Amino acid sequence: MAQLEIEDLTIQYQTSHGFVHAVRGVTLAVERGRAMGLVGESGCGKTTLARAVIGVLPKNAAILGGTVRFDGEDLLALSADAQNAYRWRRIAMVPQAAMDSLDPVYRVGDQMIETMQLRGGLSREQARDLSQRLFAQVGLESSRTRLYPHELSGGMKQRVVIAMALALSPQVLIADEPVTALDVIVQHQVLRILRELQKTLHLSLLLITHDISVVADLCDDVAVMYAGRIVETGSVRQVFTAPQHPYTMGLRNAFPSLRAGAGPLVPIEGFPPDLARPLQGCAFAPRCPFVVDRCWTEDPALLPAAGGQASACHRASEAALLRTQAGEAFARLSATHLGSTQ
């Protein structure tokens, strides 16, 4: 059994412009002790998904259906008190931009101790000992506990919030864009530490990012999200070397590489659909070079293929062929776009 199993989860927001269907039937499993990268563009629903798992959705969000199981137990069916018992103890989260939420007028060590006293009911001494241990675990000298947030670099602050999330020994850690605002060298160091912690503590990690290079660097498995759905999932090796969904194929040529001999970039023309409007058929169809009639009317289900890989595409069985044509096909689609209305 996977540690964390999300099945057919559907979430919508009520806004002044009507309902926004942020998560549209997501099925996803994070295996015990593995790192799963959840990758997608802004607005695809990845943060909403994470917040639903840890039970901190904003008030205007409603879960319309589906389950979130931790070790087989459905978290969404639990009372608020029972959910509280899970939060931080079993499942912890490093929210987006968490490092900016450190209180500027308190020493970071004190903030950590206070958090642990509140969340874990520890005594001040226990909390102090634990915070020293956690600081060591994320590679910070214990003297840093006496510093104020402005005296720490972005990378150090990010380590502090990671240490806080780990305080009550959770089995699942959700990290939402943990390195986004960091410079590349510091980003590298924070990712190394996350990876080390994940291995040594045998954590099940759900890493949310828009950057597929970060996933390649850190994760075992990956789920690609587009317009509120998972369009492809599998091991990082499978999905990156043999993508089955045209969106994943397109992403490979869409950003520059540091390597020599990289060809010209090929954009994926158009933009993601407006999730406030009802969608018919596959959400990627308007941007897909391999679109067929069926794609406009029928939303493809996420179907398993060989080796645990799964994709939501009507032409998944032709994936091997489509892969060889993807670069040219996206380029051709882009060229016709340039001549006409966008």
Partner 1 sequence: MSVLLEVTDLYKEYPLHGGVLGTRRTVHAVNGISFTVHSGNSLGLAGESGCGKTTTARLVLKLLQPTGGVIRFAGRDIAGLVGDQLLAFRRQAQLVFQNPYEALNPRFTVLRALLEPLIIHRIGTSAAQRVGKVTDALHRVHLNPPELFFLKYPHQLSGGQLQRVVIARALLTDPVLLVADEPVSMLDVSIRAGVLNLMREIEQERSLTSIYISHDLALLRYMCTRTAVMYLGTICEIGPTAELIEHPRHPYTQALVSAVPDPDPEAPRRAVRVADSVPTPFHLPPGCPFADRCPEVMDICRHVRPLLHQVGSVEVACHLYPDDAGQSRESASSAQEAR
Residue 16 or 79: which CB sits closer to partner 1?
A: 16
- For partner 1, give the closer residue by CB, 37 or 170: 37
Minimum CB distance to partner 1, residue 184 (Å): 5
Place of tokens 């009317």: 297
Q: Quote the least distance from Cβ 305 to partner 1, whole Å.
A: 18
The nearest distance, CB 140 to partner 1, in angstroms, is 9
Q: Are 214 and 37 in contact (CB under 8 A)?
A: yes
Residue in the block written with tokens 């080796």: 307
Nearest distance, CB of residue 286 and partner 1, angstroms: 13
CA–CA gap between residue 98 and residue 302 (Å, rounded): 32
Q: Judged by CB, which is closer to partner 1: 264, or 278?
A: 264
**What is the distance between the alpha carbons of residues 289 and 325, in angstroms, rounded to a whole number?**
10
Q: Which is closer to partner 1, CB of 25 or CB of 250?
A: 250
Nearer to partner 1, 131 or 248 (CB): 248
267: exposed, middle or buried (Cβ count in 10 Å: 0-12, 13-18, 19+)? middle
Task: Single out the residue of 8, 7, 26, 29 nearest to residue 308, CA to CA.
Answer: 29
- CA–CA distance, 332 with 253 (Å, rounded to integer): 13
Judged by the rule CB under 8 A, the positions of this chain that interact with partner 1 are: 41-42, 151-153, 155-156, 183-189, 191, 210-214, 216-217, 236-237, 240-241, 250-258, 260, 262, 264-269, 271-272, 287, 334, 337-342
Spatial contact of 136 and 142, defined as CB atoms under 8 Å apart: yes
Cβ atoms of residues 147 and 112 within 8 Å: no
